[in-house]
Amino acid sequence: MHISPYEQGNIFNKDPMRDRKLLLKKQEIRKLIGMLQQKGYTLVPISLYFQGSFVKVELGIGKGKKLYDKREDLKKKDQERYMKQHMN
C-alpha cells in the first residue's frame, strides 16, 4: 500500500512503498485465507483511518455477482434509461 510521505517531514520519513504488517492474530489470518480460497470470494478494503501513529484498515469479504444478477441490473438500467428518454 502506498502512503504518501509527510510534506513537512525530514530525512527520517519512511519509504511510502515499504511492506506493512497486518496486525491480526494467527487464527484471524487463517480464517481470512480459508474464505479467500473459496471460489468467488475476495478481500476488500472498506475504509482507512488514522488512530495515533497507526493507519487502520477495515477489511471485508466480498463475493462476485452471479450472471443472473448482472442481467437484472442491466435490465433495470435499460428500463430507467428508456423512462428518462420518454419523459422529456
pLDDT, tens digit (0-9, with 9 covering 90-100), for 22-80: 888 999 989 989 988 988 888 898 998 888 878 888 988 988 777 777 888 888 899 99
| Other residues' Cβ atoms within 10 Å of the Cβ of residue 83 | 9
Rounded Cα–Cα distance for residues 35 and 38 (Å): 6
Residue the block writes with cell 525530514: 10
The pLDDT value given to residue 27: 94
Decide: pTM greater than 0.85: no
Residue 20 binned pLDDT confidence (cut-offs 50, 70, 90): confident
Tell me what pLDDT residue 46 has.
92
Residue 87 has pLDDT above 90, yes or no: no
